[in-house]
Amino acid sequence: MYKAIILSLVMPLIIVSLLYSQWTFYKSYIEERLSKVQSYVAVLLTFCLYQFFIIEFCRSTIDGLYYQYSMAILNFYLSNYMREKYLGHVMLALAPLFDNFFLYTINDIPAAAMFNFAWEGALLIIVCEIFIRIEALPLIYRCTLEFLIVNQIPPLVYFVLPGKYHAMSATYFTFASIIDVTLGTLLMFAVANVYVNFLTKQYEELRMARYDGSHDGLTNLLNYDSFHSHMNELSQKSSKHQIICILDIDDFKKLNDTYGHLEGNDVLVYFTKRLFAEVKAHFGELASVYRFGGEEFCVSVHGVTVEDCLEMTDKLAEELRTKDYVTATGDKITVTFSGGIALGCDKKDIKTVLREADKALYYSKRHKKGSVTCAKDLEKKSTDTDMPLSY
């Protein structure tokens, strides 16, 4: 009776609780403070610690080894849901390796048996990959079937092997224990399903809160707080090959006064959609686009030339010229912008580059509205053209 309670009730609840604590720790603490690689290492170390606990708990309470791969399978599905697929695969491969190595170190299995991790790991990955692709079955049925298969195949394989393996399997994996493990598996997934739903809801709320805190509510571009953080990161390294491009919509105040602030907001959205599309088309993930404030925007890009940036702004200006903005009253407006571009180097910090781009923008707005000026082509102006940023 004691063994039945451990297998069908206690172990499933312990495993799901460990899973929940692991992912809560990862999403709410580790992911925010460490790099991607460091986060993965921390999660894998936690996973190994939990595997050790599961093995030792089984050995000390019921003198057997059960559910040793359940954490890996649960992590695989949760990793896929959280878009961390490779992390799930690593855990599937790591679980048999860790378990067999640990059992060898405590003289529970001979050295030759350590290599069982190869076929056990392959079994885990193959079964998981097969079931995750059977979309005709609801996920709850796929996971339950997979748990049953993985939890029962190893003991059945060991049962047909001669010698110590057969004796161990015949002692530990009786018909009663198979029933207990089956019931425990069903309970484990039922509770895990509740935990995962709660965890994913919590994660989604956290993700939305982070998004709202880092993005502008009107344009969905990164906001000034994100830009400030970006500048702080860039200030820790050389500004070489870093380009700052600041763009400002021309005569935006006049447009607001003529058509109202709601129309002005629509113009901002109209402009930023085209700006974002052009930046991503030219630079992809090399660039970030920020709403700098009001009708002013900033593009930060690394590893391209000033000429590449000028080509991007020319394309944007051409598209805006050929596709007028139409107001709610039917008026057509050609939206234009002015800009300033500055390129970093080893002798400049990023704030200097930013100020140079701002000066170039101010020159464009004052002398050549509708154009983009490069800081390198800008001659020294009098102090009245030097408009410092409130950074």
Q: What is the pLDDT of residues 29-84, one digit of tens each?
A: 777 777 778 888 888 898 899 999 998 898 888 877 788 888 888 888 777 776 77
Full residue range of the structural domain in which residue 156 is found: 2-212
pLDDT-based confidence at 391, cuts 50/70/90?
very low
Site of tokens 């139409």? 326
Same domain assignment for residues 110 and 66: yes
Q: Is 238 exposed, middle or buried (0-12, 13-18, 19+ CB in 10 A)?
A: middle
- Please give the DSSP secondary-structure letter assigned to residue 215: B
Percentage of residues in the chain having pLDDT higher than 90: 32
Same domain assignment for residues 106 and 28: yes
Same domain assignment for residues 182 and 293: no
Task: Check pLDDT > 60 for residue 300.
Answer: yes
Q: Which residue, 391, 390, 384, 370, is CA-closest to 247?
A: 370
Distance from first CA to last CA of the chain, Å, rounded? 69
Burial letters 52-66, b for 16+ CB under 10 A, else e: eebbebbeeebebbb
Q: Mean pLDDT across the stretch 257-279?
A: 94
Is pLDDT larger for residue 319 or for residue 111? 319
Same domain assignment for residues 182 and 279: no
Q: Mean pLDDT across the stretch 232-251?
A: 88
Cα 185 to Cα 122: distance, rounded to the nearest angstrom: 21
Tokens of 280: 């991503």
Residue ending a domain, choose from 190, 212, 234: 212
237 in a structural domain:
yes
- Please give the DSSP secondary-structure letter assigned to residue 6: I
Cα 324 to Cα 194: distance, rounded to the nearest angstrom: 52
Residue ending a domain, choose from 155, 181, 212: 212
Task: Check pLDDT > 50 for residue 190.
Answer: yes
Least confident of 189-193, 248-252, 266-270, 371-375: 189-193
346 in a structural domain:
yes
Per the document, the length of the chain is: 391
Contacts by 97-102, CB closer than 8 A, 24 or more apart: 97/121, 98/48, 98/51, 98/52, 99/51, 99/55, 99/65, 99/68, 102/51, 102/52, 102/55
Task: Check pLDDT > 60 for residue 214.
Answer: yes
Task: Check pLDDT > 60 for residue 91.
Answer: yes
- Are the C-beta atoms of 263 and 335 separated by less than 8 Å? no
Residue-level pLDDT at 135: 67
Q: Mean pLDDT across the stretch 249-258?
A: 92
CATH number at residue 299: 3.30.70.270
Q: Mean pLDDT across the stretch 245-259?
A: 93
Q: Mean pLDDT across the stretch 274-288?
A: 94
Same domain assignment for residues 243 and 379: yes
390 in a structural domain:
no
pLDDT tens across 343-372, in order?
A: 988 778 888 999 999 999 999 999 889 999
Task: Check pLDDT > 80 for residue 125.
Answer: no
Q: Mean pLDDT across the stretch 192-201?
A: 77
Q: Mean pLDDT across the stretch 212-239?
A: 88
Q: Mean pLDDT across the stretch 185-210?
A: 79
CA angle 30, 32, 34 (to 5 degrees): 60
Query: For all residues of the chain together, what is the average pLDDT?
Result: 82
Round the CA-based radius of gyration of the chain to a whole number and report it: 30
Residue-level pLDDT at 143: 66
Site of tokens 């290492």? 41
Task: Check pLDDT > 90 for residue 280.
Answer: yes
Q: Is 226 exposed, middle or buried (0-12, 13-18, 19+ CB in 10 A)?
A: middle
* Number of neighbours of residue 28 by Cβ within 10 angstroms: 12
- Are the C-beta atoms of 28 and 200 separated by less than 8 Å? no
**How many domains does the structure of the chain reveal?**
2
Residue-level pLDDT at 344: 87
Same domain assignment for residues 362 and 338: yes
Cα 87 to Cα 40: distance, rounded to the nearest angstrom: 7
Residue ending a domain, choose from 162, 192, 212: 212
The torsion of the CA quartet 203, 206, 211, 217, rounded to 10 degrees, works out to 120
Same domain assignment for residues 260 and 368: yes
The secondary element (H helix, E strand) that includes residue 102 is helix 85-105
Residue-level pLDDT at 157: 53
pLDDT-based confidence at 154, cuts 50/70/90?
low
Same domain assignment for residues 73 and 199: yes
Task: Check pLDDT > 80 for residue 97.
Answer: yes
Same domain assignment for residues 201 and 229: no
Same domain assignment for residues 184 and 231: no
Same domain assignment for residues 360 and 260: yes
